[in-house]
Amino acid sequence: MNGSSGMSLRNGVISSAVLLVVILAAWEWGPAAMGVPAYIIPPVSDVVREFMIMQETEKLLMHSSITAAEVVAGFVLGSLLGMVVGYILGMSPATELVLSPYILALQIAPKVAFAPLFVMWFGYTVYPKVLVAILIVFFPVMVNVLTAIRTVDPDLKNLARSFRASRWTIFRKIEFPAAMPPLFSGLRIGATLAVIGVVVGEMVGGNAGLGYLLVFGEGSGNTAMVFVSIILLTLIGIAAYLAVIFAERKVLHYLPKDNAAHSV
């Protein structure tokens, strides 16, 4: 089984690499062959050239680092807030009844609309970007934790109470382990959404970061710069997602690998 799994993984990696080469080749020569101007879809070579130029003239590493730090901050804070609120609502149906309309309204409201408001409140600082990311990350984590707490077997908790287990022991031995798989599912979603939140904040009221470079490239008509920014944002999102998967496999090592694979 291990040999076949390793073979399948190797074949998958090779197939993905071949597909990437095909996509890059199509991107390089396809638009020109169809008569699409380079200012609409620049070839890969132009994007790579612009990447090298931006490293020297636009402090690309600095902007990428700022965006990555904001993504991490928004993801961590939004996840922690979602865990706490999800646990509280899961343990108290009365509290959920009171707060759920307001949480739902906050989720339904477009997050883009909050970005200008945060800029008016906090200025062109890091706070508007992180706050938008927190709003976007919060809901999926909260819902997953709430669902996990609600679905814990009540007979199992009653059995623990019959052995005079403390509230902390029940949380640590029963509720917390039960919430871990759904929590990581929410964290996977939140890792990608955090990038969206930060970019929205940077585009609306940023003077640094990849979202700022997106707007700058658009304003100057530099399509290659826009492509470079999009690619780097994608890489940051992929890195955040892979970091969650790595943590998940370390924490949930006791689960069957088949279950972990289906949750991707």
Q: Which fold has domain 50-262?
A: MetI-like fold (1.10.3720)
Q: Would you place residue 104 in the very low, low, confident or very high pLDDT band (cuts 50, 70, 90)?
A: confident
Q: Read off the pTM.
A: 0.81
H or E element that contains 222: none
Max mean pLDDT among 1-5, 65-69, 179-183 falls in 65-69
Cβ neighbours, 10 Å, residue 1: 5
Q: For position 18, what pLDDT does the model report?
A: 86
Where do the structural domains in the chain lie, given as residue ranges? Answer: 1-34, 50-262
What pLDDT, in 10s, does the model give residues 37-59? Answer: 878 888 888 888 888 888 878 78
The two three-digit tokens of residue 260, written as one number: 């972990």
Structure tokens that stand for 143 in this block? 């819902």
Dump pLDDT digits (tens) for 7-28. Answer: 676 777 788 888 888 888 888 8
Confidence of residue 167 (pLDDT cuts 50, 70, 90): confident
Is the pLDDT at 136 greater than 50? The verdict is: yes
The pLDDT, as a whole number, for residue 232 is: 92
pLDDT value at residue 6: 61
What is the pLDDT, as a whole number, of residue 157? 75
- Cα-based distances in Å from 127 to 74, 123, 169, 187, 206: 10, 8, 37, 21, 10
CA dihedral 184, 189, 194, 196 (to 10 degrees): 170
Residue 153: pLDDT over 70:
yes
Residue (of 191, 163, 156, 159) closest to 177 by Cα position: 156
Band of the pLDDT at 263, cuts 50, 70, 90? very low
